[in-house]
Amino acid sequence: MRISDTLADGFCLSIEMFPPKTERGETSLRAHLERLNRYNPGFISCTYGAGGSTQSKTLEWCRWIQQDLNQTATAHFTCVGSTREELLRWLGRAQDAGIHNIMALRGDPPDGQADFKPVDGGLSYANELVSLIRRNYPDFGIGVAGYPEKHPEAPDVGTDLVNLKRKVDVGADAVYTQLFYVNESFLRWRDDCVAAGIEIPIVPGIMPITDFARINRITSMCGSEFPADLASRLEAVQDDQDAQFEIGVEFAIQQCRELIDAGVPGIHFYVLNKSKAAERILDALEFAPQP
């Protein structure tokens, strides 16, 4: 099933994971994904490490998702460190592995580089990657990233929106957003996307708060606004992991309810390879798990 198919019949839940570094982590992740798979997500996506460091692992996990979980997989794919020919070879491997969906991203600069610089013969922007995929593998479903609070490297919101429109115009099927914690920011940005002529589905990305220090680091890196009252509540219990978890889950439930009421076509959960928080949220939203 392709990304466009998962969104065609109404609301689509999707889950994002990353390849663990140890056998213990792999065993744990399989158990967590089996639990989340009971909620019948439209697909499970697997990230692609910095500098392409998990290329093979990404495909291995996508194969497992499709063959063992009997679930649609989406493979993340970036421009980092690869020539056009190397990118095309990887896409051929993905097709041979039975993968039908790609999350096409420029990727972050490798460690030690302040700015993104393509290798000789490589690509500089995500829209070039989308175009490469669409020209050479037209049957792939393609998701792209969107930034409700602006990409950290974009000079302004208008420029960032122009860049998103480029990705859409060359063949993206859906936009999946960076995490955010202020729904009003997402809804305003969604309106701006529609006004700019972006007509494909825009799916909000949600990362439940289970560890305030970790989320604080992530939001600082990506430039996402964090509500002051929520930060105060979490800081008051910074030595109590269970209390942080409860506050974070409660906030995510309310955030998702508001987004669903606002008519979003789905929710993309960044689960950080754990299932407990997402299960609690989905149960509260009355997503019935299958046996």
Per DSSP, 108 falls in state P
Return d(Cα 58, Cα 76) in angstroms, integer.
8
Pseudo-torsion of CA 85, 87, 90, 92, nearest 10°? Answer: -70
From the candidates 16, 128, 149, 279, which is the catalytic residue?
A: 16
Return d(Cα 219, Cα 25) in angstroms, integer.
25
Residue of 98, 5, 102 whose CA lies nearest to 47: 102
Return d(Cα 202, Cα 176) in angstroms, integer.
6
Phi, psi of 102 (to 5 degrees): -125, 135
Alpha-carbon torsion (109, 115, 120, 126), positive or negative: positive
* Paired tokens of 67: 């063959």
Return d(Cα 173, Cα 259) in angstroms, integer.
21
Beta strands in the chain, from DSSP E residues, in sequence order: 12-17, 43-46, 73-78, 101-105, 141-146, 174-179, 202-206, 266-270
* Paired tokens of 131: 């175009």
Respond yes or no: is residue 184 known to be catalytic.
no
Kindly list the catalytic residues. 16
